Amino acid sequence: MSNATKPSNSDRYAFVPGSAPYPTIVSAEGCWLIADDGRRILDGAAGAIVGNIGWGRTEVAQAAAAIMPIGYVIPLWPTPSRLALQDELIQHWLPEGFNHVFFTSGGSESTDSAIRLARAYQIGKGRIDRWKVIGRHPSYHGMTTGTMAVASHLARQKGYEPLLLPFPKVPWDDPEQVLKVIEQEDPATIAGFIAEPITGAAGACLTASDEYWRVVTAACHEHDILLIADEVMTGYGRTGLNFGHQHFPFQPDVIVGGKGLGGGYVPLGAVAARDEVAQALVGSGFMYFTFTGNDAACAAGTKVLEIMRREKLVARAASQGAVLGKRLHAEFDEHPAVVEVRGRGMFYGLELKCSRDAVVMAALQRDLWVYPAGSGPVSDAVMVAPPFVVSDAEIDQLIATLRAAIDAVVTR
Ligand SMILES: Cc1ncc(COP(=O)(O)O)c(C=O)c1O
């Protein structure tokens, strides 16, 4: 039998031999993933915290399909779908003063571009000694070598250390340490500071104080260090506001997005910059990726954002997210295997005293998907972050199944 006629074999799908087997998903609707054997899995993490609008939205597919026959247009040239997404973002999503957007194909490309942008900005200002981008411990910004270097996700960095630039790190919660590190490193060598407004996969919703963000913002502005908000997980409504930084006195110069922007339907990311930041890039030849502004992705992304506005899904992430949070706190605050429940909007983390991988697999055996998280000080955690359309009944089922999964792991 030739390879082309062999039946499909999900066992050999994993790139890394010996990886855990997962169900083959053939369709999806709302908060449900449907496998080839008819099994229905409750998607308690919107995939990888991506599917803000939920699954099965044919109008997103139609918007992308209508554009696909154009094929490819060089990223520097405008097209109607690129312009429509740019207008949608500037008019309805980004804060005042952010009128410049650079498209990418996902989160890592976006955060990596933001690191490059910090450097290009400083060069544009004539400060060629500024190259360092400060990151936080713990944090996650992607899997390019640049984004791995600026982050502090020890498990994902392990073994790759020789490839990673020695970017300085500050604690996620200590404003005095932030000031100390900036002084020690010398502000005249620092190009940028990158932060997740609420820590995602590395910390499972660690949330710093208002004072922390006030100090970070003031120090960055004082020294003209480009302040980058990595909103790849927290952006586009996930936390109950358009962007996560808007909960805090955190005033970024650059806002990086991915995941929820394309809603999981297309690979899409965006780096938005304040006007004065973009102005400093004039003459820099800031380079695009081949698929910067991919037309079908832009058309799909515009439709995703239109749906969010039409169905008022950001407000729903806040209101239904409050229901989810209340139920999680009620069920798990006193649970002996749970260190803490934290988060806001439709974005929650459970820090655990037991193996997160065991909990994730025990949940999946019970037809629930939750997202594994944790690194450094947060060794084990899972994230609960369903699509914003999740119903009360689905929240009840999610909580009951997660409870059964954790109980099964701790009583094993
Ligand atoms: C905060 C944050 N930044 C960047 C990334 C990288 O995005 P991607 O996996 O789309 O490259 C992620 C992915 O989880 C993320 O959570």
For residue 11, what pLDDT is reported? 78
Query: Does 260 contact ligand 1 (Cβ within 6 A)?
Result: no
For residue 65, what pLDDT is reported? 98
**Neighbouring residues of 147: CB distance < 8 A, sequence distance ≥ 6:** 108, 111, 112, 115, 141
Look at the pTM and tell me if it is higher than 0.85. Answer: yes
Q: What percent of the chain has a predicted confidence (pLDDT) above 70?
A: 98
For residue 1, what pLDDT is reported? 38
Pairing of strands 347-352, 338-344: antiparallel
Distance 144 CA to ligand 1 centre (A): 10
What is the arithmetic mean of pLDDT over 146-157?
94
Distance 181 CA to ligand 1 centre (A): 25
Q: What percent of the chain has a predicted confidence (pLDDT) above 90?
A: 94
Query: Does 173 contact ligand 1 (Cβ within 6 A)?
Result: no
DSSP-assigned states of every residue in 215-256: HHHHHHHHHTPEEEEE-TTTTTTTTSSSSGGGGTT---SEEE
Hey, is 386 helix, strand or coil? Answer: coil
Residue 2 has pLDDT above 60, yes or no: no
Q: Give the model's confidence band at 17: pLDDT under 50 very low, under 70 low, under 90 confident, else very high.
A: confident
Residue 211 has pLDDT above 60, yes or no: yes
Taking only the tens place, the pLDDT of each residue in 278-298 is 999 999 989 999 999 999 999
Shortest-distance Cα residue to atom 10 of ligand 1: 107
**C-beta of residue 382 within 8 angstroms of C-beta of residue 204:** yes
For residue 391, what pLDDT is reported? 98
DSSP state of 30: B
- How far is the C-alpha of 15 from the C-alpha of 215, rounded, in Å? 44
Distance 259 CA to ligand 1 centre (A): 7
What is the arithmetic mean of pLDDT over 43-50?
98
Residue 7 has pLDDT above 60, yes or no: no
Q: Give the model's confidence band at 311: pLDDT under 50 very low, under 70 low, under 90 confident, else very high.
A: very high
Ligand 1 pocket: which of 259, 291, 375, 383 to mutate (most atoms within 8 A of CB) = 259
Query: Does 268 contact ligand 1 (Cβ within 6 A)?
Result: no
Amino acid of residue 20:
A
For residue 411, what pLDDT is reported? 92
- How far is the C-alpha of 271 from the C-alpha of 25, rounded, in Å? 31
Q: Which atom of ligand 1 is nearest to the CA of 109?
A: 11
Q: Give the model's confidence band at 5: pLDDT under 50 very low, under 70 low, under 90 confident, else very high.
A: low
What is the arithmetic mean of pLDDT over 219-247?
98
Residue 125 has pLDDT above 90, yes or no: yes
**CA nearest neighbour of 182 among 221, 234, 233:** 221
Distance 233 CA to ligand 1 centre (A): 7
Distance 16 CA to ligand 1 centre (A): 21
Amino acid of residue 93:
W
Distance 411 CA to ligand 1 centre (A): 34
Give the chain's domains with CATH numbers.
3-53+312-410 (3.90.1150.10), 59-310 (3.40.640.10)
Hey, is 118 helix, strand or coil? Answer: helix
Query: Does 108 contact ligand 1 (Cβ within 6 A)?
Result: yes
Q: Which atom of ligand 1 is nearest to the CA of 259?
A: 10
Tell me the average pLDDT of the chain: 96
Sign of torsion over alpha carbons 98, 205, 250, 110:
negative
Distance 410 CA to ligand 1 centre (A): 30
Query: Does 258 contact ligand 1 (Cβ within 6 A)?
Result: yes
Residue 39 has pLDDT above 80, yes or no: yes
* CA 249 distance to own-chain centroid: 20
Taking only the tens place, the pLDDT of each residue in 318-370 is 999 999 999 999 999 999 999 999 999 999 999 999 999 999 999 999 999 99
What is the arithmetic mean of pLDDT over 376-395?
97
For residue 367, what pLDDT is reported? 98
- How far is the C-alpha of 309 from the C-alpha of 67, rounded, in Å? 22
- How far is the C-alpha of 309 from the C-alpha of 286, rounded, in Å? 32
Hey, is 66 helix, strand or coil? Answer: helix
